[in-house]
Structure 1
Amino acid sequence: MAFLPAGAMAYTPSHLEANMIVLGVESSCDETGLALYDTERGLLAHALHSQIAMHQEYGGVVPELASRDHIRRALPLLTEVLTKSDVDKQAIDAIAYTQGPGLAGALLVGASVACGLGMALDKPVLGVHHLEGHLLSPLLASKPPEFPFIALLVSGGHTQLMRVDGVGRYQLLGETLDDAAGEAFDKSAKLLGLSYPGGPAISRMAEFGDPAAYQFPRPMLHSKDLNFSFSGLKTAVLTVVKNHPANICEQDKANIARGFVDAIVAVLTAKCVTAMKESGLKRLVIAGGVGANLQLRASLNAAAAKKRFQVYYPELEFCTDNGAMIAFAGAMRLKNNPGLATRDYGFNVRPRWPLQELVAA
């Protein structure tokens, strides 16, 4: 199923017109990010504040606290970005902000900041799809992939395989039927008593585990399609934990973590290899927070060497939510169609926004 018309314009240098500087504002969940992207010079500066320390006490993101913290952080981060880049605010040509998907209150903060700045500076604004930002984030690397490529978007809220033929040209190949991979990481980590965020914690613990101690199921590994399912794997971890004595020793926690990580990485890798084979493409792009996982990177790198395709990752600082990917996605959209930006500063956000509803640039 193609998300956008096949004629949607892909990003190539020949499509670029006048140079522009775009401010990106990201506030979809628990990171506040601002960045300036110049279509000639590249990323000028970015600044990010993570709310991890604030939410750790609660074992997960508290939406109301997240929204309030975005309010406190946005303008100081803007000042930081302008100072780092030595760009006057009047030199900004357009402002892109995350319109969705995400937490409603958090999205409203970023949208109001962007539209308020737009009105104050008389600059056009553009709402950007958060997932498109992630999909295009590997293009910010020093050696970006060329179109077309297969993309694995893997995060706390999403696990999808897509064919990407250009900016605005996306075809869904497969997706999770229940829990996202990052969600399974976080929930399984919580079962082991690990702190938030669970994904990095369980991955670190897995490094000390015995891979032969627990053989967890590989859900949908042989399903003959490119869909995923991780709720059963999470349940398998829960069953093992419940069947243990009250206090699980640290080594056994590490063994359980290793079994879980090996299972989820095996499924993600196998589906990527199948997608590469079926598409005939030679470039695989990994996007989203789970793309920073070292076990997943090692597995995909080994598969790429064996099957002779190339794999690309965003820089580690751009795996999680950030303003740079929003500024970049907004810039690419505006270069294809400058009319997308508006000086109508009334705004709405879209907490649930399927990528297939994204209109062509």
Structure 2
Amino acid sequence: MILLNKGHFYKSLSLRKLLHKSKNVNTIRHYKVLAIESSCDDSCIALLERTHPNQTPTIIDHTKKTLNSAAVGGIMPTAAYTYHMSTIANMCIEFCSKHQLSATNPPDLICVTRGPGMAGSLSSSTEFAKGLSVAWNVPLVGVHHMLGHLLTSFLPTKETEQKQPPNFPFLSLLCSGGHTMLVLSKSVSEHEIIINVSDIAVGDSLDKCARELGMYGNMLGRELEKFIKNIPTEEIKEFENLQVDTRLSNKYNFKLTLPYQTPKSGKFQDDLIQFAFAQFLSNIQSYKKNFLNSKIIEDDKIKRMIAYKTQEYIFDHIIDRINLAFKKHGLDRWSDGKFIGVKDFVCSGGVAANSRLREKLFNNLNHKEIGENPLSFHFPDLSLCTDNAVMIGYAGMEIFEKLKLKTNLNFIPIRKWPLNNLLNVESWVKVDDDEINRVCKYKN
């Protein structure tokens, strides 16, 4: 038996009180979520904390490492898989050490991207997340990647901390390297795809066009935007007024048209209201071959002209399709009224970081087709436009708390997962209120 003198006794008693107080604090602490994303070529980890079910979470920290694929001209699935397999675990060790997360102090919930995406890239993080879930004995949520992008608009931005989040129902333009779609969202789980893409996504098109123009980098769409921003003002004015509907209408013999045409009859066909971006690359390739007789563009001004007009027309095509959808689902006499009452418009995904796209959406969407009041626009912070784990953590929180769902550990990644079939996949498990209360340690 160890005997304690009076001083030691009081010190021991104070220590026990401190430990007891610390234990009580832990039982009512705010709940934390560890999130992992690796659907493409970004390895991402984030830690979020929520203090109240009706408040947006605090982003404690988030980090990202990206495979450098500039030298090979694009993302190679096998290389991305190898990269994630050699990156995720060490990233997580460093991240958890930084934030004192461990088996004795685990997060309360784990969220990981289940799909859509490249199967190998997805599996590298889903299997790792399963291991953490088992080791730490915490529930796991497999999150839809595009739902993450869509819900990012609910997080406050640095520029507009006080701006109200969108209210359901709202419209979202999800535009990235792998997806381009207009979505009508009625709740966290109810999403209708209004416009989808028929060939390649807008981000993929911008990347390919930039590469065809001789640009180099890991994010070519961003390089194209930077290149265009550096065009002299007087040339911008010239290019704005340049008619390119026929080759004879301009001195460059450059022709560019929008994909599809708005029906002259005023009636709508579903196969016409879709996005298409492959032709913009084909147009540049054809021009180089037939009019420049070269694989490279030697005239810098021609290069600037093509870059400017191509980006403008790509974004004009997006505007044209959305305005056509407004007519079909708004107040037009041929419409079904599906959009009437929508007050908020969200633009998210990697291409949403493009300032020119944001400007054109704000200035050119014909909101009067769906109501008298102007739309309220929502754009995520630039750091949350491209793939990130913050959006996965937030979407997972909403799924767990609002839909009362988690994911069984027998789940597998889903390479193609339509957003309108969010809940129509295997491995969703209902959670009861006791488990939600056990995980979400909110203060009274």
With normalisation by structure 1, the TM-score equals 0.86
Q: After superposition, what is the alpha-carbon deviation per residue over 1:98-141, rounded to whole angstroms, capped at 9, x for unaligned?
A: 11111111111010110111111111112111111111111122
Q: How many residues align?
A: 340
From 82, 92, 100, the equivalent of 2:107 is 92
**C-alpha displacement of 1:270:** 3.0
Equivalent in the alignment of 1:302? 363
| 2:421 is aligned with 1:357 | yes
Equivalent in the alignment of 2:8? none
Q: Distance in 2 between matches of 1:82 and 1:57?
A: 32
Equivalent in the alignment of 2:259? 219
From 256, 267, 292, the equivalent of 1:244 is 292
| 2:103 is aligned with 1:74 | no
Equivalent in the alignment of 1:43? 59
Larger relative contact order, structure 1 or 2 (CA cutoff 8 Å, min sep 6): 1
Equivalent in the alignment of 1:312? 378
Q: Counterpart of 2:220 in structure 1: which amino acid?
A: G
**C-alpha displacement of 1:303:** 2.9
Task: Structure 2 unaligned segments of length 5 or more: list them.
Answer: 1-28, 52-56, 245-255, 331-338, 369-373, 429-444
**C-alpha displacement of 1:19:** 5.8
1:195 to 1:212, Cα distance in 2 relative to 1, 3 A? farther
Equivalent in the alignment of 2:19? none
From 83, 102, 121, the equivalent of 2:136 is 121
Q: Check the 8 A contact 2:193/2:419 in 1, yes or no.
A: no
Equivalent in the alignment of 2:275? 228
Q: Distance in 1 between matches of 2:346 and 2:97?
A: 32
Q: Distance in 1 between matches of 2:69 and 2:258?
A: 31
Q: Check the 8 A contact 1:206/1:255 in 2, yes or no.
A: no
Equivalent in the alignment of 1:323? 389
Q: Check the 8 A contact 1:160/1:175 in 2, yes or no.
A: yes
Q: Distance in 1 between matches of 2:74 and 2:100?
A: 37
From 103, 127, 130, the equivalent of 1:112 is 127
Secondary structure at the residue paired with 1:152?
strand
Equivalent in the alignment of 2:346? 285
Between stretches 188-197 and 248-257, larger displacement belongs to 188-197
Secondary structure at the residue paired with 2:186?
strand
Q: Check the 8 A contact 1:233/1:260 in 2, yes or no.
A: yes
Q: Distance in 1 between matches of 2:310 and 2:120?
A: 33
Between stretches 223-232 and 191-200, larger displacement belongs to 223-232
From the CA coordinates, give the structure whose radius of gyration is larger: 2
| 2:174 is aligned with 1:153 | yes
1:285 to 1:232, Cα distance in 2 relative to 1, 3 A? same
**C-alpha displacement of 1:311:** 1.1
Q: Check the 8 A contact 1:155/1:182 in 2, yes or no.
A: yes
With normalisation by structure 2, the TM-score equals 0.71
Q: Distance in 2 between matches of 1:250 and 1:177?
A: 33
Sequence identity percentage: 30
Q: Check the 8 A contact 1:219/1:233 in 2, yes or no.
A: no
Q: After superposition, what is the alpha-carbon deviation per residue over 1:278-333, rounded to whole angstroms, capped at 9, x for unaligned?
A: 21322110011111111101111223698621211111011111100111111100
Equivalent in the alignment of 2:32? 21
Equivalent in the alignment of 1:13? none
Between stretches 136-145 and 115-124, larger displacement belongs to 136-145
Q: Distance in 2 between matches of 1:250 and 1:320?
A: 30
**C-alpha displacement of 1:25:** 0.7
Q: Distance in 2 between matches of 1:214 and 1:50?
A: 40
Q: Distance in 2 between matches of 1:291 and 1:139?
A: 15
Q: Distance in 1 between matches of 2:404 and 2:93?
A: 26
Secondary structure at the residue paired with 1:268?
helix
Q: Distance in 2 between matches of 1:83 and 1:318?
A: 24
Q: Counterpart of 1:103 in structure 2: which amino acid?
A: M
1:305 to 1:177, Cα distance in 2 relative to 1, 3 A? closer
Question: What are the within-5 Å matches in structure 2 for residues 131-146 of structure 1?
Answer: 131-141=146-156, 142=161, 143=163, 144-146=165-167
Q: Counterpart of 1:182 in structure 2: which amino acid?
A: G
Q: Check the 8 A contact 1:304/1:310 in 2, yes or no.
A: no
Q: Counterpart of 1:263 in structure 2: which amino acid?
A: Y
Equivalent in the alignment of 1:253? 303
Task: Structure 1 unaligned segments of length 5 or more: list them.
Answer: 1-17
From 162, 186, 194, the equivalent of 2:207 is 186
From 191, 195, 211, the equivalent of 1:170 is 191
Secondary structure at the residue paired with 1:359?
coil
Q: Distance in 2 between matches of 1:104 and 1:301?
A: 36
1:276 to 1:282, Cα distance in 2 relative to 1, 3 A? farther
Between stretches 254-263 and 218-227, larger displacement belongs to 218-227
Secondary structure at the residue paired with 1:340?
strand
Between stretches 93-102 and 234-243, larger displacement belongs to 234-243
Q: Distance in 2 between matches of 1:314 and 1:77?
A: 25
From 64, 74, 78, the equivalent of 2:78 is 64
**C-alpha displacement of 1:338:** 3.5
Question: Superposition RMSD on alpha carbons, in Å?
Answer: 2.4
